[in-house]
Amino acid sequence: MQKIEQITGRGIPLVLDDIDTDRIIPARYLRCVTFEGLGEHAFEDDRQQMPGHPFDDPKFKGASVLVVGRNFGCGSSREHAPQALMRWGVKAIVGESFAEIFFGNCTANGIPAVCVAGDEAKKLGAALAAGSATEITVDLVNKTVRCGGNSIPCTMQEGARQSLVTGNWDFLGQLVEAAPQIRQTAARLPYMKNFA
């Protein structure tokens, strides 16, 4: 898999707390057997209800680094949420914190979701909204987020960071390689033999 060490792109601000995955992609769009076409429906209902939503703002067209608030991606485990964001164009997410299932789904799709201090996320978002900043770099090797002349520290669950920077985020490939050890583990669990 591709090593993901650094992502640079135009930023888009959505610095609100507790944005759930139903808001990222409403459940009616989960009636599908592929992830195709989800990008155009990202934040569909929010965009209807919030005129000038950043996802509709021409200023942020083509942006790829999403800046969010606290507990982003909470709620439903739907992988359709990071898939919708990815297909809209998001390649990295910077925020105060992420819900864990969403975070895992991002990593599985090669989208780094990194944490910065809450006030830093707000400052970044404000700079993007004001147009005083446009480009953001998420640097997973040096654990920094850079924007304008500023460099701020970011954190990420170490296992996920390692998997991205070493190009080992294709878990499926790694997991199946351990077939003998998997069978050994299964053999020592009493319930796998139905307690016979």
Kindly tell me which of 128 and 164 has the beta carbon lying closer to other proteins: 164
Strand order from edge to edge, sheet including 113-115: 113-115, 92-95, 65-68, 6-14, 135-139, 144-147, 150-153
Among 51-59, 125-133, 137-145, 162-170, the segment contacting other proteins (CB under 8 A): 162-170
Among 4-12, 54-62, 140-148, 166-174, the segment contacting other proteins (CB under 8 A): 166-174
- Tell me which of 26, 53, 56, 137 binds other proteins, using CB under 8 A: 26
Listed residue (167, 169, 173, 172) closest to 5, CA to CA: 167
Query: Is 163 near other proteins (CB under 8 A)?
Result: yes
Paired tokens of 21: 């995955």
Query: Least Å distance between CB 119 and other proteins?
Result: 9
Count of residues in contact with other proteins, rule CB under 8 A: 66
Helix (H) or strand (E) holding 121: helix 118-130
Rounded-to-integer distance, Cα 196 and Cα 180, Å: 22
Query: Is 5 near other proteins (CB under 8 A)?
Result: no
Query: Least Å distance between CB 6 and other proteins?
Result: 18
Kindly tell me which of 39 and 75 has the beta carbon lying closer to other proteins: 75
Query: Angle at which helices 100-108 and 158-165 pack, to 10 degrees?
Result: 10
Among 4-12, 52-60, 86-94, 98-106, the segment contacting other proteins (CB under 8 A): 98-106
The strand ranges marked E within 5-112 are 6-14, 65-68, 92-95
